[in-house]
């Protein structure tokens, strides 16, 4: 299972939001490139970059910072935030981004997701950000009437490479992942699922190993890395040594609510 550091960009800075609230943005570093290098040096095999300005604006905004990150590290980069047309998606891939993450358009323009999957095979990931089981869009500022599991199954049929599932109520809270929602989602689709939101400790990461047989192949970690609650090297070692067969069924049950 991959442990994937998150780099959220707001006005060129590396920040973390609390439950997706732009008004509760905490700056952790003014230089996202140095942050990317730090995670790569500590062993990250992939980086998750979110253009928060882009998510709100509806088009990529932090392209300069994203390109600088791509040039600075030798690990694959996946990027989301404001990708709502083919030109924006293509522009990011031309910068050297390995995978693009589509969110709002999966709900509002599903045919575009299908077209992009055909144009860029194995490079399209769908981010499903849920609030009480319903999909949120437009930088989490709106909540749709589409259930997360229904959207996941529709997108899987289009040939996406993976799904990133974020429980908005857990994001930035250090309360642990929503294992129940992750289990339901992973059981209902045939593509890899990457967990996001609420990771607070190595114990939370190890709890996800119990879902690995269902297809949960990675975890995105944000705030906990920046606060020091999770040390990347230690997390990578622990997850690498852990086996899902050794995890009891009720491990991490405190995060099931």
Positions annotated as catalytic residues are 8, 129
Closest C-alpha to 91, from 35, 250, 83 = 83
The secondary structure of residue 172, as a DSSP letter, is T
Determine how many CB atoms are found less than 10 A away from the CB of residue 248: 8
Q: Could you tell me which residues come within 8 angstroms of residue 92 by beta carbon, excluding any fewer than 6 positions away?
A: 60, 63, 66, 79, 83, 100
Per-position DSSP letters for 47-99, written without gaps between them: EEEEEHHHHHHTS---HHHHHHHHHH-SS-EEEESS--SHHHHHHHHHTT-SE
Helix 110-119 to helix 148-158 angle (10° resolution) is 30
Alpha-carbon distance values, 97 to 17, 76, 156, 211, 234 (Å): 23, 7, 22, 28, 27
Residue 58: burial class (beta carbons within 10 Å; 0-12, 13-18, 19+): middle
Instruction: Say how far apart CA 50 and CA 61 lie, in whole Å.
Output: 11
């Amino acid at each position: 299972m991959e442990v994937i550091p998150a780099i959220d960009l707001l006005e060129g800075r590396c920040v973390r939001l609390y439950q997706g609230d732009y008004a509760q943005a905490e700056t952790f570093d003014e230089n996202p490139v140095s942050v990317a290098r730090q995670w790569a040096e500590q062993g990250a095999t992939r980086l998750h970059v979110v253009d928060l300005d882009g998510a709100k604006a509806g088009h990529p905004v932090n392209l300069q910072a994203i390109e600088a990150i791509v040039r600075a590290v030798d690990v694959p980069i996946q990027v989301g935030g404001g990708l709502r047309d083919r030109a924006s998606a293509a522009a990011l891939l031309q910068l050297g981004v390995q995978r693009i993450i589509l969110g709002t358009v999966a709900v509002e323009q599903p045919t575009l997701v299908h077209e992009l999957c055909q144009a860029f095979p194995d490079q399209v990931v769908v981010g499903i950000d849920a609030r009480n089981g319903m999909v949120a869009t437009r930088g989490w500022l709106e909540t749709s009437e589409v259930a997360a599991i229904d959207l996941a199954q529709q997108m899987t049929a289009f040939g996406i490479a993976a799904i990133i599932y974020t429980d908005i109520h857990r994001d930035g809270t250090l309360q642990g992942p929503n294992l129940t929602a992750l289990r339901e989602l992973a059981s209902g689709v045939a593509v890899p699922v990457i967990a996001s939101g609420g990771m607070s400790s190595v114990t939370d990461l190890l709890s996800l190993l119990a879902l690995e047989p269902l297809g949960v192949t990675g975890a995105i970690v944000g705030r906990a890395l920046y606060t020091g609650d999770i040390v990347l090297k230690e997390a990578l070692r622990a997850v690498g040594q852990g086996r899902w067969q050794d995890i009891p069924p009720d491990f991490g049950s405190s995060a099931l609510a």
